[in-house]
Structure formats: C-alpha cells, structure tokens
Amino acid sequence: MKKEITKGDLLKSNPLEGYWVCSIVLSFQPKNDNNNAMSHVAITNAVFDHDFHIDQINVDALRIIHTQNNENSIAPCIQINTSKLMKEIEVIGQLDVEPFYPHDLNFQIGNGSDGGWPQCGPLTKSLGYQAVHQWREVNERKAWLQDIAEAEKSHTEMLERLKHAK
C-alpha cells in the first residue's frame, strides 16, 4: 500500500456525507532538513453523490475549481499539503498534470493570487469540500441554502450560549 502521494496521483475523498471528490496532486517535494514531504493538491470539479471509480471521471471535462480567497480574488483551488497518505484518502489513478496547471508551483505560503498557496497541513477526510459546496450550489440549491441557514442558526445559538456562560 502506498504511503505518500506523488505528482500525478488522482485522489478520492469523501469530504461530506454522501459526496465524493477527485483531486489531483500537481507537485511533490521530498522531505528535506527543513520540511516534511509536501505536495500541491488541486481540487477538481469531479463531484459525485456516490462512491466512484476512475473510469467514471471524464478527464476531458476535469478542471481545477476556482474559489474566492481572503482578499476577495478568485484563485485556483490549490493547497499545500503534507504528502503522507491518510486512510481516508485513496489514490485511484495517475494523470499527466501539465494540461491542468502548466505553471510553476513554489512551496510558498499565500492565498492563490499572490504567488503562494494556502498551507493546509496533513491530508484529511475534508479534502475537496470546496468542490462539494460549488456542486451543491448548482445541483441542490434549495437543500444547500437550507443547510447554510441551519449552520448559521446553530453558530448564532452557540455564540449566545458562550456569551451567557461568562
């Protein structure tokens, strides 16, 4: 069984109950004296409402999604992760990454529009949650909006409880 992700790996994750996402490893940097092994991982538009296999991915339609960063710029959804493969993430295949992101990638921390990328630490089950939200916004809009409203209500109630607990 593979222990680390490498450039070109297609990753399958299940970031939210009932949704699976395919991501692509764009680069790999081995461990050195200063850093653990790291990779640039790109979140794609391949979202499924069922567990999927590589033959279900339309490679011609596969794209890196773009998200709004903390400076309100739209940037490719690429993040820096450690390269240790966790049991929640499965490598399902390999692709040439050049067509997906032909630009140089540096292991510089940033927001995707400033030459650097968000540092997200270890790979976790939540890998690809951004793609699920984008997919649900289009394909399950009513339920998605309801889930957001419920989360906002729950958050407000929690803040009230904390305020009164002092």
Domain boundaries, the chain: 9-165
Q: What is the value of pTM for the model shown?
A: 0.88
**What angle is formed at CA 124 by the lines to CA 151 and CA 12, rounded to 5 degrees?**
100
How many Å apart are CA 95 and CA 44, to the nearest integer? 13
pLDDT tens-digit map of 101-118: 999 999 999 999 998 999
User: CB–CB of 79/44 below 8 Å?
Assistant: no
Strand partners, 48: 20
pLDDT score of 1 more than 70: no
